[in-house]
Structure 1
Amino acid sequence: MPSLHDCPAPAKLNLFLHITGRREDGYHLLQTVFQLLDYGDLLHFDVRDDSAIRRVNDVPGVPEETDLVVRAARLLQAAVPGLPGADIRVDKRLPMGGGLGGGSSDAATTLMALNHLWQAGLGREELMALGLKLGADVPFFIFGSNAFAEGVGEQLTAVDGLDCWFVVLEPGVSVPTPAIFCSPELTRNTKPVRIADFSGALQNAFGKNDMQAVAARLFPEVGKAISWLGGFGEARMTGSGACVFMPCQSEQQADAVLAAASGKWKAWKARGIAKHPLAGLQKSL
């Protein structure tokens, strides 16, 4: 049976994240720039001779039935009658509750890979619509390039991200997104910006992350990570946390920061990339 192995599910960073309002249904309106990294999870797919969807390895803390990977595969099956099943293995590197988009990226890679492997024939926009049913960040990964996002994160415009190395710290805590969004201390009225404001600015110092102050208060390790990494440059939390990142002027600078972090923090470096590694599998409608 056909298979597709070593499919990347890249991490993302939020170079800034502004909360600009709140809809009547409770969803927050935001503006952000999503930056892809050349670091993430790896997924492996094998077509079955029946219609079952199985995750064939254990992912600590994520039951198979609630895994976004399994849900994404079944969602695609439901959208296109007659598709076969698949065995899926997930090699996890990205932490849960880290703000790096790990689960959303895994779901997007599942939709893109199985759409190709099963010859389901859906275009990028159709896959993005399916992905939105799984989470607000999923469409971005299917979109396939760095993006300025608005709405609840689903309104995407391609932008140039940062072509540099990043250092990322994992503070060792998992930050549940609802805890941040529900906080009465969360800033919800940041003035909207334009794409041109970001594009014309010194991008690694543009804006702020409105969720950062709340996360640092609720989870002190996040605040400690920001303070420590901030001793080397412009440190910022990504997403709703917990991971903290810093753009670097060179790979040598990234290596120097990693050397200083050794024994203190779990840290790694990654290069910013312009396109999703699986973007070539897709077609637009």
Structure 2
Amino acid sequence: MENVVTEARAANALWKEKWPAPAKLNLMLRITGRRDDGYHLLQTVFQMLDLCDWLTFHPLEQDRVCLQEPIPGVAEADDLTVRAANLLKEISGCRQGVRIEVEKNLPMGGGLGGGSSDAATTLVVLNQLWSLGLSTEELMRLGLRLGADVPVFVFGCAAWGEGVGEELQEIVVPEQWVVVIKPNVHVDTGKIFTHEGLTRDSKAIKIADFLAGDQRNDCFEVVCKLYRSVEKAWEALSGYAEARLTGTGACVFAQFASEREARQAYAELQGDWQVYLAKGQNRSPLYQKLSHY
């Protein structure tokens, strides 16, 4: 009886918690080919940041999924967290309901993976709250149905990615301080990947090549050509450290050897830009938190 009470209290504690949905960076992005279905073959390196959205899940007696506060301009049924929860219910037969509360801190359309990370946190946490017992691999496969970036957030580690980004291998990279600039523009990923000037035949490299410094982003030149504000942000950040584009942008980032240098750059850039200060994480903040339960 005591064990049952303890488990019930633990479950209640999980429902009351705020769960992180971390940002990610693409530390490198190479386009090595294109599949017959139009998807591009990639090589990339993902690393999480301690910059997060926060999700809270509230149990409902009704068998439905809803948002505490829908995002303006986005139909509730189209929200990635709602789609993730409904997908879990569909494949598991779960009849429980949930209201999802999202504290949004990550910029939309910046290449930091905010919506995908929210979906992954929904999959991982509701799998626990609803006692579904799905494995990480099963959740990753579900996540791929929601978006190409969702699996890496479910994977939960810094990763070397291939395929369309879903073939993941854990990698260890320095956990450096990072400054991120979000230009006031939304980059159309489809426009970038269909642009005639995009490099699509980069030579595949090995992890050792990346670690030795081969860290270019094949999307950089096209993005800067189409979105001048991204190039301006890159120029501004380049005055402090080597700046790079994450994914297809719009965010640019730079890694710093020390917290002091990062904080100085962050302070000096704030007046002109939307700037974020964070630290790289080789293990997702979500799994760091889950490990305490």
- Separation of aligned partners in 2, 1:4 and 1:185: 49
Q: Which residue of 2 aligns with 1:37?
A: 49
Aligned residue-pair number? 278
- Separation of aligned partners in 2, 1:63 and 1:24: 32
Q: Which residue of 2 aligns with 1:272?
A: 280
Pairing partner for 1:186 from 180, 185, 198: 198
Secondary structure of 2:146's aligned partner = coil
Write out aligned runs for 1:184-263 (5 A).
184-199=196-211, 201-202=212-213, 206-263=214-271
CA contact (8 A) 1:15 1:35 kept: yes
- Separation of aligned partners in 2, 1:42 and 1:217: 34
Q: Which residue of 2 aligns with 1:141?
A: 153
Aligned-pair CA distance for 1:274:
1.5
Q: 1:113 to 1:151 in 2, by over 3 A?
A: same
Aligned-pair CA distance for 1:4:
4.1
- Separation of aligned partners in 1, 2:30 and 2:286: 29
CA contact (8 A) 1:59 1:90 kept: no
Answering whether residue 105 of structure 2 is matched by residue 93 of structure 1, we say yes
- Separation of aligned partners in 2, 1:152 and 1:94: 23
- Separation of aligned partners in 2, 1:207 and 1:56: 40
Pairing partner for 1:119 from 131, 140, 143: 131
TM-score in terms of structure 2 length:
0.92
What is the root-mean-square deviation of aligned Cα atoms in Å? 1.4
Deviations 1:103-144 (A, max 9, x none): 100000000010001111101001001001001110000111
Pairing partner for 1:79 from 69, 74, 91: 91
Secondary structure of 1:229's aligned partner = helix
Q: Which residue of 2 aligns with 1:55?
A: 67
| Structure 2 residue identity aligned to 1:173 | V
Q: Which residue of 2 aligns with 1:173?
A: 185
| Structure 2 residue identity aligned to 1:153 | G
- Separation of aligned partners in 1, 2:145 and 2:44: 20
CA contact (8 A) 2:88 2:94 kept: no
Aligned-pair CA distance for 1:189:
0.6
- Separation of aligned partners in 2, 1:59 and 1:41: 14
Gaps of 5+ in 2: 1-10
- Separation of aligned partners in 2, 1:103 and 1:21: 26
Structure index of larger Rg: 2
- Separation of aligned partners in 1, 2:89 and 2:79: 16
Deviations 1:260-279 (A, max 9, x none): 11211110110111211232
Pairing partner for 2:172 from 136, 142, 160: 160
- Separation of aligned partners in 1, 2:73 and 2:266: 28
CA contact (8 A) 1:36 1:146 kept: yes
More helix by share: 2
Q: Which residue of 1 aligns with 2:120?
A: 108
Secondary structure of 1:193's aligned partner = coil
Percent pairwise identity: 51
Pairing partner for 1:24 from 5, 11, 36: 36
CA contact (8 A) 2:22 2:286 kept: no
TM-score in terms of structure 1 length:
0.94
- Separation of aligned partners in 2, 1:79 and 1:223: 44
Deviations 1:4-35 (A, max 9, x none): 43100000000010000000000000000001
Aligned-pair CA distance for 1:233:
1.1
| Structure 1 residue identity aligned to 2:105 | R
- Separation of aligned partners in 1, 2:271 and 2:238: 18
- Separation of aligned partners in 2, 1:117 and 1:192: 41
- Separation of aligned partners in 2, 1:209 and 1:53: 38
Write out aligned runs for 1:3-18 (5 A).
3-18=15-30
Aligned-pair CA distance for 1:82:
3.0
